[in-house]
Amino acid sequence: MKVYFPYEIVRDEQKKLISDIAQAINENKVLFAHAPTGLGKTVSALAPAIAYALEQKKKIFFITPKISQHEIVLETINLMNEKFGLAIKAVDLVGRRSMCIDPMLSTIGYSSGFYEACLKKKKSKQCQFFTNTKGYTIKQKNLARKRKAPLLKEFNKSHEEIKEMCYVHELCPYEITLELTRGADVIIGDYFHLFNDEIREGIIAQAGFGLGDVIAIIDEAHNLGTRLVDMLSCSIDIRELEKSEKEAKNTGSFDAEFAIKDITKEIERLGGVLSLQRSSAVIPVEELDMLKKIGRDASEKISLAATKFIKKYDAQGAFLLKVEYFINRLIREKEHTLHVVERKNSLGVSINPLDAAEISENILHKLSSAVLMSGTLLPLQMHADILGARKPMLKEYLSPFPKENRLNLFVDKTTTKYSDRSNEQYKEIASEINAVVSKVPGNTIVFFPSFELLEKISPYLTTGRKMLKQEREMKNDDKHKLIHDFKLLGSSFGGVLLAVSGGSIAEGVDFPGEHLSCAIIVGIPFAKVSIYTDAMIRFFEQKFGSGKGFEYAYTAPAISKAVQAAGRVIRTETDKGVCVFLDKRFSEEKYRKFFPKDFVATKTMNSGKNVGEFF
């Protein structure tokens, strides 16, 4: 099979990856690939996929949650075009909210509300950009055709570039991007572009192809299951309902106002099971019948009230949109869903789907083929099970980086195990961190399993280095500044960043070269015990058999988070660094088995000494 690989050198392990991807595409299979950083996953997937797609007239969906990755896909495609004289056309899709140039809607803080508001503006012919792009009357349609014609040739441009062009021409960037998909060979998007039924159907309807014509390449696939269930989760509370009730009243929508009162009463009734000692509880399915009935009866009334409210006022704070979204989710929910009534700031109800396969199984089955890849996709069978892949190919590849550049240590003392937590334990953990940091000739990140433990252990740290700290809820700008400041410390004396495993610094941020020399993973980052984790454990146990519940919902994701965090240290072939796993449980077989097969660690009681010798 032809492969458009645009570089001179291909490594042995990369050759295996390309060959397996080519096989999966040729044989219409679903491949799960654990492919560590540095293997060149993007080009390895695109090279065979593009060759097959051009030959067999297929489309490629390149799905990645990272916007920065969209640029890399575009660059790779441009390189292939140049090197092989091809004319592959790609389109860069991001969410409708990020593309919107309507000054009023683009500031709506939550995506579900934005989505409903945009639909309403289009239906009520109130968005001038949409009218300019699509038109409603024959005259408007003709004008729209002329106006957008030059933009419909703009392939291989980033979404930012398309957005700027649309500003100039006063066109809706999202609709223009959707129209571009019709002529595109490669569509670069996020998970929801493929897995959200409405959004996917919108794209497919525009582009005129079926799922059977699609080769899906899904990057960062270790997050797919969680993202799919998150996509359909939502909640509403009494405070939001009260605000929406006022909005309904202000627009004279009295039937909606009364319907919202009924929803409020029903949520208060469901909250009757809570007490001072019990702030959350599972709602048995049969207990939800009344709320669903009220929701079904109220759906249209609330939708009309929301439309009126947006016309009359501003969509930005429209709580009616949130209520409408909640009701729509409730009455169309999937079979395996957990409902929780909870008192936080206000009493509320949340809808939490448990089964990602209810969303992904059919889609994966209908695709021409799919490649799901990630640097941490272990255990492969678990990911395949959770997503409902039938007869998948499961492949694990080795890291291409020199082994001698990385030292992994399993420290055989201290633990953050709940029953063993004490101030003495925290002091001991801090003393081990101090000893390691003193031997690192550069930057160290200490990843704690939770903010709570970060707060408890950090007062005992005396590293003598500048210490920076990740905060619980950081705005994006503050986080970028924190990372920037920390990286600068790497070129001087070296600093220490206190962060949490599983947080935004532990995943998706690169610290190449001198930006990071050491990562210390304190404790095993298990999910917090909660009603939701319990329900997931029970659900997986029931679906996949004895022992799988705990493994799939609790143990494997925790080790995956630890490995992800440790993975920040070595990002390029020349990086050198140390990963210290600071909890005696890491070396137990029940946890050790979830590490990659080429992962080698030294057990130690004196990690400071080992680190000093390594550097």
* Residue closer to ligand SF4, measured from CB, 151 or 288: 151
* Residue closer to ligand SF4, measured from CB, 125 or 403: 125
Q: How far is the CB of 332 from ligand SF4 (least distance, A)?
A: 22
* Residue closer to ligand SF4, measured from CB, 123 or 603: 123
- The 68-107 site mask, x for binding ligand SF4 (CB under 6 A), equals ----------------------------x---xxx--x--
Comparing C-alpha atoms, which of 15, 40, 21 is closest to residue 216?
A: 21
DSSP 368: S
* Residue closer to ligand SF4, measured from CB, 316 or 346: 316
Site for ligand SF4 in 115-144 (CB under 6 A): 118, 121-122, 127, 129-130
* Residue closer to ligand SF4, measured from CB, 175 or 432: 175
Q: How far is the CB of 324 from ligand SF4 (least distance, A)?
A: 16
DSSP result, 559-607: HHHHHHHHTTS--STT--EEEEEESGGGGSHHHHTTS-TT---EEES-H
DSSP 159: H
* Residue closer to ligand SF4, measured from CB, 12 or 198: 198
Q: Which residues contact 69 (CB under 8 A, 6 or more apart)?
A: 42, 219, 220
| Sign of the C-alpha dihedral computed for residues 199, 200, 203 and 205 taken in this order | negative
* Residue closer to ligand SF4, measured from CB, 174 or 195: 174
**Helix or strand run (H / E) with residue 357:** helix 357-366
The CA distance from 224 to 557, in Å, is 12
Q: How far is the CB of 135 from ligand SF4 (least distance, A)?
A: 13
Comparing C-alpha atoms, which of 166, 160, 192 is closest to residue 179?
A: 166
Q: How far is the CB of 325 from ligand SF4 (least distance, A)?
A: 16
Q: How far is the CB of 402 from ligand SF4 (least distance, A)?
A: 48
* Residue closer to ligand SF4, measured from CB, 166 or 536: 166
| Token pair belonging to 159 | 């979404």
In this structure, are residues 510 and 568 in contact, taking their beta carbons and an 8 Å threshold? yes
Q: How far is the CB of 102 from ligand SF4 (least distance, A)?
A: 4
* Residue closer to ligand SF4, measured from CB, 99 or 378: 99
Q: How far is the CB of 10 from ligand SF4 (least distance, A)?
A: 42
C-alpha distance from residue 544 to each of 379, 382, 538, 587, 589 (Å): 14, 9, 10, 26, 21
Number of residues that bind ligand SF4 (CB under 6 A): 14
Interaction between residue 556 and ligand SF4 (CB under 6 A): no
Q: How far is the CB of 315 from ligand SF4 (least distance, A)?
A: 9
φ/ψ of residue 459, rounded to 5: -60, -20
CA angle 539, 542, 547 (to 5 degrees): 95
CA angle 189, 192, 197 (to 5 degrees): 125
**Helix or strand run (H / E) with residue 370:** strand 369-374
Site for ligand SF4 in 148-187 (CB under 6 A): 172, 174-175
* Residue closer to ligand SF4, measured from CB, 118 or 482: 118
The CA distance from 386 to 596, in Å, is 19
Q: How far is the CB of 94 from ligand SF4 (least distance, A)?
A: 11
Produce one character per residue of 157-180: b if its CB has 16 or more CB atoms within 10 Å, e if not.
bebbebbebbeeeebbbbbbbbbb
Q: How far is the CB of 176 from ligand SF4 (least distance, A)?
A: 9
The CA distance from 467 to 461, in Å, is 9
- The 10-49 site mask, x for binding ligand SF4 (CB under 6 A), equals ----------------------------------------
* Residue closer to ligand SF4, measured from CB, 175 or 583: 175
| Token pair belonging to 598 | 């080429």
Q: How far is the CB of 420 from ligand SF4 (least distance, A)?
A: 53
* Chain contacts with ligand SF4 (rule: CB under 6 A): 96, 100-102, 105, 118, 121-122, 127, 129-130, 172, 174-175
